[in-house]
């Protein structure tokens, strides 16, 4: 039982060749997992990679083995009720089948109201239903339940190649492997802006398929809400690559004024509920063109430019040749224009006071005191793993519970339309490589991708700087249409002092916190708890 898509299937089949017979390629990924278990027992998960969650029953040993992939792309839930145990990839299924208490988890809800996602990997909105953390195996047997972590993201010393061209070549090689494991037999869709990450993904997909007609792209852009040149840059890339490109104006996708009256629900409270209806329409249209869609999540976090920690690490090691090389590469990569921008930034900078750990003023004070939420928010910034010596921010980001919220949003979209989202940059081979290249110079403005795409993508895209949105696209639609009224039921008042809520929608980031209140109220109203 489960959802299983494996990476590096050819290598795994080679390891299991003696068991698979004369037609190993005909063995499906779920059956491959069973063969791996038969060969290696409980250690079989050490040989698996991909997007998966599953439960495996060993009748001979009377044990149930439940596993979740390394990054947590797929979710797996479990609950106990009396002598029965329930495991499933659907939280709604667990709720409807397990006769467990439906008590809510106050910590989960407080985290959701404060930051949009839980700070713990194993919590769900229900206190007695748990989520198996990423990279963990949960085993039930006559001796009870046991859980173990089978994988950690471990990045050793930075990769050092004598020829800098090897970095681009290795990146393209690993992307080809990642895409080979994710491409369907027919057409594949790319969620493609005019930015570097998604256009690189499109170029690699064309390279892997060898047929540009199999690759289509959709560009989400804004026509009214804000200045937006994604349409221009994505068109440059599509023409250059020879792929089909369609545009979708997102101005009316970010907020549905009628969202509370839609018969759409989510397993847990979600900010995405306010745009679920337009996303469902868009998703069904996308599914009509391709069932599998690729997303460019990953490089923004893996290729964060950590110049200071990298040079500090080299200084501690007294690695003078590498320091000199890195300094020269940094100076050369930055160029005159980059140094001029740095000078202007330092001369004109102003102190900005922002404390993301401040709790919303409208949280119920009894809840805040009872759960000691102020301390919980402060401790959330403490690293869960030992600090990485030369790439600390990048490595820690991939161990943050926020990724569960990201993947949950993709799961929600898949529940609205018959499409499958896949993330080639988060293939462990690609991810570990991006994290292993020296951040100086390869992470500066994602030089790794720019060098790999030299001569493949148009020069204006390679020269384009990342341009974050000036504000959330939700701000203007919500100010125009307003948020619907709250139900003011007693369950919401356990968490929120409704009298303290702002009368007008605040700017970011306070707007998302206000949306979370409305999303929770809607969810509580829908659920018969």
For 66, what's the count of Cα atoms within 13 Å in the CB-facing half-sphere? Answer: 24
Q: Who's near 421: CB < 8 A, 6+ residues apart?
A: 293, 294, 295, 410, 413, 414
Name the band, by pLDDT with cuts 50, 70 and 90, for residue 338.
Answer: very low
Q: State mean pLDDT over 445-472.
A: 90
* Alpha helix (H) residue ranges in 210-275: 230-241
Q: Who's near 2: CB < 8 A, 6+ residues apart?
A: 30, 52, 53, 54, 55, 74, 76, 89
Compute the chain's Rg from CA coordinates: 24
Q: How far apart are CA 89 and CA 75, in angstroms?
A: 6
pLDDT tens across 7-31, in order? 999 999 999 998 888 788 889 999 9
Burial of residue 133 (CB within 10 Å: 0-12, 13-18, 19+) is middle
Same domain, 278 and 418: yes
Q: Who's near 381: CB < 8 A, 6+ residues apart?
A: 357
Same domain, 114 and 57: yes
Last residue of a domain, one of 118, 149, 180: 149
Domain containing residue 224: CATH number:
3.40.50.620
In a domain, 346, yes or no: no
Q: Who's near 162: CB < 8 A, 6+ residues apart?
A: none
Q: How far apart are CA 338 and CA 164, in angstroms?
A: 21
Q: State mean pLDDT over 503-523.
A: 90
Helix H or strand E segment including 343: helix 320-348
CA distances in angstroms from 467 to 51, 194, 270, 277, 341, listed in the order given: 30, 10, 27, 28, 15
Same domain, 27 and 137: yes
Same domain, 68 and 207: no
What local confidence, expressed as pLDDT, does residue 334 receive? 52
Q: How far apart are CA 483 and CA 27, in angstroms?
A: 51
SS3 92: helix
Instruction: Sort residue 218 into left (φ over 0), alpha (ψ -120 to 50) or beta.
Output: beta
Strands 84-88 and 77-81: antiparallel
* pLDDT higher at 91 or 347: 91
User: Which range (119-133, 297-311, 332-346, 373-387) has the least confidence?
Assistant: 332-346
Same domain, 124 and 169: no
What local confidence, expressed as pLDDT, does residue 350 receive? 36
What local confidence, expressed as pLDDT, does residue 459 receive? 97
Same domain, 207 and 231: yes
What local confidence, expressed as pLDDT, does residue 333 receive? 59
Token couple for 3: 């959802």
In a domain, 91, yes or no: yes
Q: How far apart are CA 483 and CA 505, in angstroms?
A: 8
Q: State mean pLDDT over 48-62.
A: 95
Domain that holds residue 432: 165-245+264-304+402-463
Question: Could you write out the DSSP letters of every residue in 41-60?
Answer: GGGGGGG--EEEEEEEEETT
In a domain, 198, yes or no: yes
Token couple for 102: 């439906």
Same domain, 24 and 104: yes
Q: State mean pLDDT over 480-504.
A: 89
pLDDT tens across 173-199, in order? 999 999 999 999 999 999 999 999 999
Q: How far apart are CA 372 and CA 363, in angstroms?
A: 12
Total domains present in the chain: 2
Beta bridge partners of 84: 81
Same domain, 92 and 34: yes
Assess whether pLDDT exceeds 60 at residue 355: no
Check if the beta carbon of residue 215 is closer than 8 Å to that of residue 221. Answer: no
In a domain, 34, yes or no: yes
Q: State mean pLDDT over 226-231.
A: 91
In a domain, 6, yes or no: yes
What local confidence, expressed as pLDDT, does residue 396 receive? 93
Name the band, by pLDDT with cuts 50, 70 and 90, for residue 51.
Answer: very high
Name the band, by pLDDT with cuts 50, 70 and 90, for residue 488.
Answer: confident
Report which DSSP code applies to 131.
Answer: E
What local confidence, expressed as pLDDT, does residue 367 receive? 96
Average pLDDT, rounded, for the chain: 91
Assess whether pLDDT exceeds 80 at residue 100: no
SS3 2: strand
**Is-above-0.85 flag for pTM?**
yes
Assess whether pLDDT exceeds 70 at residue 342: no
Q: How far apart are CA 54 and CA 6, in angstroms?
A: 12
In a domain, 509, yes or no: no
In a domain, 117, yes or no: yes
pLDDT tens across 391-435, in order? 999 999 999 999 999 999 999 999 999 999 999 999 999 999 999
* pLDDT higher at 379 or 524: 524
Same domain, 65 and 121: yes
Assess whether pLDDT exceeds 90 at residue 136: yes
Q: Where are the beta strands (DSSP E) in 250-349?
A: 292-294
* Alpha helix (H) residue ranges in 87-220: 91-97, 106-115, 165-180, 196-209
Last residue of a domain, one of 86, 120, 149: 149
Share of the chain above pLDDT 70, in %: 94
Same domain, 66 and 24: yes
What local confidence, expressed as pLDDT, does residue 357 receive? 62
In a domain, 516, yes or no: no
Same domain, 9 and 108: yes
Check if the beta carbon of residue 306 is closer than 8 Å to that of residue 393. Answer: yes
pLDDT tens across 241-272, in order? 999 999 999 999 999 999 999 999 999 999 99
Check if the beta carbon of residue 253 is closer than 8 Å to that of residue 279. Answer: yes
Same domain, 268 and 411: yes
Last residue of a domain, one of 149, 181, 198: 149
What local confidence, expressed as pLDDT, does residue 71 receive? 97
Dihedral (CA of 335, 338, 344, 349) sign = negative
Q: How far apart are CA 427 and CA 177, in angstroms?
A: 9
What local confidence, expressed as pLDDT, does residue 319 receive? 87
Domain containing residue 53: CATH number:
3.60.20.10
Assess whether pLDDT exceeds 90 at residue 63: yes
């Amino acid at each position: 039982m489960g959802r299983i898509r494996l990476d590096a299937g050819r290598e795994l089949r080679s390891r299991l060749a003696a068991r698979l017979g004369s037609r190993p390629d005909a063995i499906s990924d779920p059956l491959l997992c069973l063969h791996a278990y038969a060969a290696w027992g409980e250690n079989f998960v050490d040989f698996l990679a991909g997007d998966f969650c599953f439960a495996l029953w060993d009748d001979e040993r009377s044990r149930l083995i439940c596993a979740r992939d390394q990054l947590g792309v797929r979710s797996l839930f479990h609950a106990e009720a009396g002598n029965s145990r329930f495991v499933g990839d659907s939280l709604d299924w667990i709720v409807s089948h397990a006769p467990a208490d439906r008590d809510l988890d106050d910590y989960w809800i407080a985290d959701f109201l404060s930051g949009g996602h839980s700070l713990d990997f194993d919590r769900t909105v229900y206190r007695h239903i748990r989520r198996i953390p990423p990279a963990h195996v949960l085993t039930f047997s006559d001796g009870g339940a046991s859980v173990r972590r089978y994988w950690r993201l471990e990045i050793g010393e930075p990769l050092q190649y004598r020829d800098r061209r090897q970095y681009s070549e290795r990146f393209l090689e690993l992307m080809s492997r990642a895409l080979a494991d994710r491409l369907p037999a027919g057409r594949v869709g790319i969620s493609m802006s005019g930015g570097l990450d998604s256009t690189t993904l499109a170029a690699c997909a064309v390279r892997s398929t060898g047929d540009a007609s199999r690759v289509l792209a959709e560009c989400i852009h804004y026509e009214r809400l804000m200045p937006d040149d994604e349409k221009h840059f994505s068109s440059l890339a599509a023409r250059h690559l020879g792929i089909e490109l369609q545009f979708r104006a997102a101005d009316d996708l970010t907020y549905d004024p009628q969202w509370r009256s839609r018969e759409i629900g989510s397993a847990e409270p979600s900010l995405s509920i306010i745009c679920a209806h337009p996303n469902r329409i868009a998703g069904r249209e996308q599914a009509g063109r391709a069932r599998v869609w690729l997303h460019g999540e990953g490089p923004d976090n893996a290729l964060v430019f950590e110049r200071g920690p990298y040079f500090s690490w080299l200084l501690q090691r007294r690695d003078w040749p590498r320091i000199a090389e890195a300094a020269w590469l940094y100076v050369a990569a930055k160029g005159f224009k980059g140094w001029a921008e740095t000078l202007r930034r330092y001369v004109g900078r102003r102190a900005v006071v922002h404390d993301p750990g401040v709790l919303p003023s409208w949280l119920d004070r009894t809840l805040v005191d009872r759960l000691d939420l102020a301390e919980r928010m402060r401790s959330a910034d403490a690293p869960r793993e030992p600090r990485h010596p030369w790439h600390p921010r990048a490595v820690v980001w991939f161990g943050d519970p926020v990724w569960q919220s990201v993947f949950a949003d993709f799961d929600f979209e898949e529940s609205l339309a018959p499409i499958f989202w896949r993330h080639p940059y988060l293939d462990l081979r690609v991810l570990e490589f991006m994290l292993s290249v020296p951040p100086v110079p390869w992470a500066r403005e994602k030089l790794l991708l720019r060098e790999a795409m030299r001569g493949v993508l148009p020069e204006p895209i390679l020269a384009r700087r990342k341009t974050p949105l000036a504000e959330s696209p939700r701000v203007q639609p919500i100010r125009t249409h307003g948020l619907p009224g709250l139900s003011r039921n007693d369950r919401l008042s356990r968490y929120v002092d409704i009298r303290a809520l702002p009368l007008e929608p605040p700017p970011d980031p306070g707007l998302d916190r206000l949306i979370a209140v409305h999303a929770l109220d809607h969810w509580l109203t829908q659920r018969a708890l």
